[in-house]
Structure 1
Amino acid sequence: MKFENKTVIVTGGGTGIGRAAAQRFFEEGANVIINGRREDVLRKTALEIDPTGKKVLAVAGDISRLETSKRLVQVATDAFGGIDVLVNNTGKFNPTPFLDHSPEDLQSYLDTIVKGTFYPSQSVIPEMKKRGGGAIVNTGSMWATQAVESTPSSAYSAAMAGRHALTRNLAIEFAGDNIRVNAVAPAVVETPIYNTFMSEEEVAKVLPSFNAFHPIGRNGTPLDVAEAILFLASDSAAWITGVVMPLDGGVTARLR
């Protein structure tokens, strides 16, 4: 198993991409700590992945607050002795015309995505240094590099561009510490995030209409993204750092 005796933190780990990644890390032998705001969802997910409750732990809290990241690190080190992998996976997505964004709305994107990358990474890296290295994988977005007319997302895109920038900057700054930092940049992935601004009926109607948007002919799944995250976190990617990997069924290859 690729992650036997490794310890992994996954933020936004209760549902969607984060849940799929946590599941796959566990299946590959890792100890996993998942984070999110909804404690009931996190605990349910943790027990579904690991019914023993020993190798998958849930730590609820607002990731935009530094103390949440510090608590994640404390739980990981107390329970498992250190940290090897961090997956920064928090996100918020609600297509909104640029002129309709309020200051509070903009701040929520920066809190969830930029602070939600900055603080966990800042808290985890000292522990990775103690282990002689580690890997950080950030869930970025195609929208950070490519505007999509049907989904105006200026605040989301700006925040995700910040996550991409942190990926490259941290990769360079900590390469000498054997800490690799990479990101994936998905296009449309069928996750519960769409249910935050559409009804079940709307989701069932709208999401299939995006299949043809991808040259490969379908939307992505959480598992598609999780497998890429595991690759970038694994020793198979030992010579890869500072990369933002397009994970979009060919969309950006067509648009460039």
Structure 2
Amino acid sequence: MSTQGQKVAVITGASQGIGAGLVDAYRKLGHAVVATSRTIAPADDAGIVTVQGDIADPATAERVVAAAVERFGRIDTLVNNAGIFVAKPFTDYTEDDYAAVTGINLAGFFRITQQALPRMLAQGGGHIVNITTSLVDNADSRVPSVLASLTKGGLQSATKSLAIEYAMRGIRVNAVSPGTIKTPMHPEEAHEALAGLHPVGRMGEPGDVVDAVVYLENAPFVTGEILHVDGGMSAGH
């Protein structure tokens, strides 16, 4: 069980890149963490519980929330970090692409957030952070990305909608909108081209996104915010 007063963060897509950075950051903040992804390994830290599963599967969301409640007794923060990005010309997207991207980016967010929110309400408050992409604000002809815009754009709108719905009940809802971040998702040989998509001329680091989430975690007057961490991408080109 958690020590009295210890906060608990649930992080999806937690095995590598930004997600793994978030697990470390929330442990440093003193939170216990429930970390989930399809391939996550058990942790050797008593303050971390790992749950393997596909976030697109509703059963995974139920298992993750149950693990948080059974092991630590509460959920204070949910970071919806799991996401996939498939860049193709619009008419090249397949049924499988559509199912995979909407399953993780939309259904995954929807189910686990719906499971976690009642816990937050019961304890008098909480914080939800969604990870989106700056392509939803500023489409780029070099990156055909309708499925990202459809799903992450929906997530961005849902962030504001949830923030307002729960503003009077102690639950804050924010998003971080990254540019392209150096994670295992992007092969080394693509880095130069990806750097060129950003007005500052370089890609971001996982820590840039993690720092933004930590800022939001410690910002009690901030809700409904879409915090761009994107090297100027959303401002223009």
Q: Is the TM value for this pair above 0.5?
A: yes
Q: Say if 2:50 is the partner of 1:58.
A: yes
Q: Say if 2:233 is the partner of 1:241.
A: no
Q: Say if 2:214 is the partner of 1:230.
A: yes
Change (3 A) 1:204 1:65: closer
Q: Say if 2:3 is the partner of 1:5.
A: no
8 Å contact 1:167–1:183 — kept in the other structure? yes
Which stretches in structure 2 are left out of the alignment for 5+ residues?
Answer: none
8 Å contact 1:118–1:166 — kept in the other structure? no
Deviation at 1:253, TM superposition (A): 1.9
* Distance in structure 2 (CA, Å) of the matches to 1:97 and 1:226: 31
Measured against aligned partners, the alpha-carbon deviations of 1:101-124 in whole angstroms (never above 9, x if no partner) come to: 112211211101001111111000
* Distance in structure 1 (CA, Å) of the matches to 2:33 and 2:110: 20
* Distance in structure 1 (CA, Å) of the matches to 2:104 and 2:135: 16
Deviation at 1:61, TM superposition (A): 1.2
The one-letter amino acid of 1:213's match is: L
* Distance in structure 1 (CA, Å) of the matches to 2:236 and 2:101: 28
Change (3 A) 1:66 1:204: closer
Matches within 5 A, 1:1-256: 5-38=6-39, 42-43=40-41, 47=43, 51=44, 53-194=45-186, 203-234=187-218, 237-255=219-237
* Distance in structure 2 (CA, Å) of the matches to 1:54 and 1:5: 13
The one-letter amino acid of 1:205's match is: E
* Distance in structure 2 (CA, Å) of the matches to 1:19 and 1:93: 18
SS of equivalent residue, structure 1 residue 150: coil
Measured against aligned partners, the alpha-carbon deviations of 1:73-104 in whole angstroms (never above 9, x if no partner) come to: 11101111100000001111121110101122
Deviation at 1:165, TM superposition (A): 1.5
Measured against aligned partners, the alpha-carbon deviations of 1:38-86 in whole angstroms (never above 9, x if no partner) come to: 1xxx11xx53xxx3x3101100112122221111111101111100000
* Distance in structure 2 (CA, Å) of the matches to 1:208 and 1:25: 31
* Distance in structure 1 (CA, Å) of the matches to 2:190 and 2:38: 27
SS of equivalent residue, structure 1 residue 127: helix
Change (3 A) 1:101 1:212: closer
Deviation at 1:205, TM superposition (A): 2.6
Q: Which has the higher helix share?
A: 1
Which stretches in structure 1 are left out of the alignment for 5+ residues?
Answer: 195-202
Normalising to structure 1: TM-score of the pair?
0.87
Deviation at 1:212, TM superposition (A): 3.9
